[in-house]
Amino acid sequence: MGNEYSIKEIMEMIGRNEIYLPAIQRKFVWKYEQIESLFDSIMRNYPIGMFLFWFVRGEKKNEYTFYKFLQNYHERDRKFNEIAPKPELKEEIIGVLDGQQRLSSMYIALQGTYAYKKRYAQWNNDNAFLQRKFYLNLLNQSTNDEEDYKYEFKFLTDQEAQQIDSKHLWFLVRNVLEWGDDPEIDDYYDTLVDQYNIPEEIKDVIKENRGQLKKILRILHQRLILEKLINSYKIEEQNLDNILDIFVRVNSGGTVLSKSDLLFSTIVANWEEGRDEIEKFLKSVNKKGDGFWFNNDFIMRSCLVLTDCPVLFKVNSFKKENIEKIKKEWENIKIAISKSIDLLVEFGFSGENITSHNAILPVAYHFIKGGNDSPNSKNEIRSYIIHSLLKQVYGGQGDQVLSSLRDALRKKEDDNYTLLQSDFSLNTFLRTKLSGNKSLEITTGDIEEILQYKKGPYTFMVLSLLYPNLKFGQVKFHQDHIHPASLFTNAKLRRNNIPEENWKNWQEMKDQLPNLQLMEGKENESKSKTPIKNWLYGTGDNNTPNVVDVDKYKVDNYIPENVDLDLDNFEEFYNERLNIFIEQIKNVLGVRNPTDTS
């Protein structure tokens, strides 16, 4: 079900405050060249796409924030839409779900101005941004349909528009909107010629091209006034969450939109400083340690979790009273998140190996409610983070998992929530039942799977627990192949007389936990491709041992004491170290044996 409108009708509806932009729409981003191209397409009768209009009625329109269309765009000073004041809203309004950039471009071109920075000028120079209106050159029409542009549209200053010569006669496009349905093109042509102080020789050129000029004016009038070029699909759904889902689906073909980013737009519509505050905060936390990749999605969830709002990502979770809570608690939210991320850095995490941002939020909740960061709490926090990431509990139903873990931490007193205990405890979560039959408890079956992980974020997590005394926050540690990965190419294995039937299996095993250790970055670079036996004892080309106390090095790195470290003995080394890891990982992860019922 849809409607058809002329461009003039749509411009008038926008002017009468009948069409608005929902807050989920992003800011206007089209460059002036794109607008000029759009109008060239309109003149050439090219399709300009469907539009999706959301008809909002009654009180529903007051439950949501809408923006007015930009009229006078300024690239530096005025590029954000104003919030539509409620008294102006009609009994029924139209929200644009698809077509914002195109309609905004038409409105600016036909009803407003576009001020962009002059090339090479400074951004702080006010004179660099000249107000320009939208013109069509009536003396420049390409006869070649294969060219990119057939009609020359330009945003010009008043002074530039007065510059007439044998190839330029600029017509202010918005004037067509004042014409009737059946205009006297001859009269408009005569007015056009008379309104400029045109030299006689140029008037002769204009007269010679009279037919072409009048033809262009007729086409322009036809496209903007007579033809129903705005083909729209009508949406009458009133549920805001369903509208959000429709918007995501419709707009997912271009830049990927996250639902939280759209909800973020509804929040900043009611929190004027919110956008700058959040962007500034994200920039600061993403610089911590070796860098992180937190985004609006993370901030939105944080705000809901840390203010005891419903965790589910729905419009109703961001009601005005909840946004007021977020604004009121913003400074505390920032402190709790920053403190949690500082711990991640201390534990050796970065954007490369923190596989779910959600895992941080119970920690931040612990801090915002006054929980301590004693040495014992820190150890428990690290264990919780690694358990939750290894078990991947936040995949699929992350909102429900967060809600359950938050409930496990808190109790309600009067109208407020407080912590059940000031110390952070992993056991609190191990006893918590999670949706989808998930659990943070690691079993012996999980250990078997963990030991098959290949070098990456999960192997780092396990190794970080096995190397508890390393100062991750001060020194960069690498995951090092004990037997260098470079030795496992087919050519190297053949050269070392390894039976071919072992090659494929060994090439899998080389990247798994039993062949990995943590090593300081500089030390790892020096070890590089050197076989482990040569590197330890200084045999081969290098006669200087790299380790002062080999026995201690083996103990510290869980290397089997009496196993030969030559490459041809790789499988025995792997299996012996595997057995050592099974017991060590059970111990550090608190894995109970099947017969242990305590």
Q: How far is Cα 434 from Cα 403, in angstroms, rounded to an integer? A: 9
What residues in the chain have per-residue pLDDT under 70? 1-2, 60, 63, 86-89, 141-147, 192-197, 239-241, 243-245, 247-262, 265-266, 269, 524, 526, 539-543, 592-598
- The residues spanned by each domain of the chain are 1-126+228-252, 132-226, 258-441, 477-589
CB 345 within 8 Å of CB 339: no
Q: How far is Cα 358 from Cα 396, in angstroms, rounded to an integer? A: 12
Please tell me the number of Cα atoms within 13 Å of 8 on its side-chain side: 17
Burial of residue 21, with CB atoms counted within 10 A of its CB: 0-12 exposed, 13-18 middle, 19 or more buried: buried
Q: How far is Cα 73 from Cα 132, in angstroms, rounded to an integer? A: 10
**To which H or E segment does residue 56 belong?**
strand 51-57
State residue 199's pLDDT score: 72
Q: How far is Cα 474 from Cα 472, in angstroms, rounded to an integer? A: 5
Q: How far is Cα 314 from Cα 241, in angstroms, rounded to an integer? A: 6
Q: How far is Cα 102 from Cα 472, in angstroms, rounded to an integer? A: 51
State residue 596's pLDDT score: 47
What are the E-state strand segments in 116-217? 133-141, 151-156, 170-172
Residues 6+ apart with CB under 8 A from 73: 28, 79, 108, 112, 113, 114, 115
State residue 598's pLDDT score: 42
Whole-structure pTM value: 0.65
Q: Which of 572, 428, 562, 565 shows the shortest CA–CA distance to 502?
A: 572
State residue 257's pLDDT score: 52
State residue 421's pLDDT score: 94
DSSP string, 403-463: HHHHHHHEEEETTEEEES-SS--HHHHHT--BGGGB-S---HHHHHHHTTPBSSHHHHHHH
